[in-house]
């Protein structure tokens, strides 16, 4: 029996790798695709995969797409994305959008009781409590698409309650591993985009250079697995071959290893947490030779600390952290902000944003909007 799958963000790094997984799999039927504005690529993808419905968030791109493609339906705007989720008859949605734009589609998916393969970690960072409560209420399953969380998900499967002591997420350390705070003052966008082990979209690549990605991933793990923050560790592992470690009460540690290829995580989530054959060359451990581990340098990479502080503060603080980070990363990529100022913008925005409880999704949208205004002001003053 084939499963009806919808891919949100199919033109991105995760999205295109997911299409490769779908092409090789006999049991996934694509019912819809979406992108922000790249309508030509999206239409090509729809033709190649026999998809009859697509959504483009940018309204001009949607209009041009609708003119160029007469064989199917083109939905438009953020509402178009939500309609695609609700009206396509999907049994599984892959959310591979970047940033807090993924929040609305995640809510729509879980609200409909549709299973979610979640690459968009920002949804959980921003509204983790509400998302997991919604999934519980409707019975929708959330399966992560993130190498570390896929590893932990697979390691935790079948462990009885009470035997897991701690979780460890590995970090490659990014392109600036070993640099002190002062050395990071003048790094360029090009240097920050040169990730040593993974090829990914621009935003997550910068998050990997600041290590904010690990801060976000600690929150992602907390919400996915219900593990308290003090039991989630981050360790730097430059080879990116060990993705996650689960420590048990008897002192045993289970590690998940594999080549740094996101198709493993994507395929696992698209097949409901099962392993199916992929054309990926396994690791040759003798050729790998050595695995090394080191502590995170929190002075050089303050984003890990800021994320933990926001996580512990709770309420709207993680949402504010995420919004400020998105504004700062965007400004850095456009050459309007120095690398070290990314953390400064986030810290200042958090300082100026009182923490409020999150009672409904509206509190999140409001906190996101206000934090973007504050962060935008801090960026403007920092030049
Ligand atoms: P990307 O930038 O390569 O692709 C993003 C996709 O979302 C594109 O299809 C784009 O058109 C669409 N999009 C962008 N902004 C949008 C908006 N405002 N509204 C609607 N659609 C929009 O990003 P990516 O690297 O594929 O990452 C996607 C998500 O997966 C992120 O949350 C990232 O943290 C997570 N993730 C990525 C990787 C990786 O290897 N790339 C690994 C782990 C987790
Ligand atoms: Mg990851």
Average pLDDT over residues 113-131: 98
For ligand 1, atom 18, name the residue with the nearest CA: 101
Check pocket membership of 57 for ligand 1, CB cut-off 6 A.
yes
Task: Report the distance separating Cα 360 and Cα 258, nearest Å.
Answer: 39
Average pLDDT over residues 14-41: 97
- Ligand 1 atom with the smallest distance to the CA of 204 is 34
- Ligand 1 atom with the smallest distance to the CA of 199 is 40
What is the pLDDT confidence band of residue 116, given thresholds at 50, 70 and 90? very high
DSSP state of 40: H
Output the 3-class SS for the chain. Answer: CCEEEEEECCCCHHHHHHHHHHHHCCCEEEEEEEECCCHHHHHHHHHHHCCCEEEECCHHHHHHHHHHCCCCEEEEHHHHHHHHHHHCCCCEEEECCCHHHHHHHHHHHHHCCCEEEECCHHHHHHHHHHHHHHHHHHCCCEEECCHHHHHHHHHHCCCCCCCEEEEEEEECCCCCCCCCCHHHCCCCHHHHHCCCCCCCCHHHHHHHHHCHHHHHHHHHHHHHHCCCHHHEEEEECCCCCEEEEEEECCCCEEEEECCCCHHHHHHHHHCCCCCCCCCCCCCCHHHHCCCCCECCCCCCCCHHHHHHHHHHHCCCHHHHHHHHHHHHHHHHHCCCCCCCHHHHHHHHHHHHCCCCCCCCHHHHHHHHHHHHHHHHHHHHHHC
pLDDT in tens, 285-340: 999 999 999 999 999 999 999 999 999 999 999 999 999 999 999 999 999 999 99
pLDDT at residue 1 in the model: 76
**Are the CB atoms for 227 and 167 separated by under 8 Å?**
yes
- To the nearest whole percent, how much of the chain has pLDDT over 70? 100
Q: How far lies 214's CA from each of 125, 274, 306, in Å? A: 12, 25, 11
In testing the pocket of ligand 1, which one of 61, 97, 147 has its CB within 8 Å of the most ligand atoms?
97
Task: Report the distance separating Cα 145 and Cα 171, nearest Å.
Answer: 16
For ligand 1, atom 40, name the residue with the nearest CA: 200
Check pocket membership of 326 for ligand 1, CB cut-off 6 A.
no
pLDDT in tens, 184-231: 998 999 999 999 988 999 999 999 999 999 999 999 999 999 999 999
Residue 383 has pLDDT above 90, yes or no: no
């Amino acid at each position: 029996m084939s499963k009806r799958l919808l891919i949100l963000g199919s033109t991105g790094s995760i999205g295109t790798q997911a299409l490769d997984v779908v092409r090789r799999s006999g049991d996934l039927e694509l019912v819809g695709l979406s992108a922000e504005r790249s309508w030509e690529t999206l239409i090509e993808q729809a033709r190649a995969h026999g998809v009859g419905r697509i959504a483009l968030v940018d309204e001009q791109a949607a209009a041009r797409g609708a003119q160029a493609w007469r064989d199917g339906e083109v939905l438009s705007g953020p509402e178009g994305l939500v309609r695609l989720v609700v009206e396509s008859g999907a049994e599984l949605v892959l959310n591979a959008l970047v940033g807090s734009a993924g929040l609305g589609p995640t809510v729509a998916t879980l609200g409909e009781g549709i299973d979610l393969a979640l690459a968009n970690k920002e949804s959980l960072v921003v509204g983790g409590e509400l998302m997991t409560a919604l999934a519980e209420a409707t019975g929708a399953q959330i399966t992560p698409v993130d190498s570390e969380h896929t590893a932990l998900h697979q390691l935790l499967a079948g462990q009885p309650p009470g035997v897991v002591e701690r979780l460890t997420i590995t970090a490659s350390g990014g392109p600036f591993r070993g640099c002190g705070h002062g050395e990071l003052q003048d790094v360029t966008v090009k240097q920050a985009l040169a990730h040593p082990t993974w090829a990914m979209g621009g935003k997550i690549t910068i998050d990997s250079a600041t290590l904010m990605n690990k801060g976000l991933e600690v929150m992602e793990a907390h919400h996915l697995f219900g593990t308290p923050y003090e039991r989630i560790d981050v360790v730097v592992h430059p080879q990116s071959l060990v993705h996650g470690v689960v420590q048990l009460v008897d002192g045993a540690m289970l590690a998940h290893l594999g080549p740094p290829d996101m198709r493993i995580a994507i395929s696992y989530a698209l097949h409901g947490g099962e392993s199916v054959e992929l054309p990926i060359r396994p690791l040759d451990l003798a050729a790998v030779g050595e695995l090394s581990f080191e502590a995170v340098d929190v002075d050089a990479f303050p984003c890990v600390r800021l994320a933990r502080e926001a996580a512990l503060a709770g309420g709207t603080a993680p949402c504010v952290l995420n919004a400020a980070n998105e504004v700062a990363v965007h400004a850095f990529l456009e050459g309007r902000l120095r690398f070290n100022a990314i953390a400064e913008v986030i810290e200042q925005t958090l300082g100026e944003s009182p923490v409020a409880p999150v009672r409904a999704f509206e509190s999140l949208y409001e906190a996101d909007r206000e934090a973007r205004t504050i962060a935008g002001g801090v960026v403007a003053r920092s030049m």
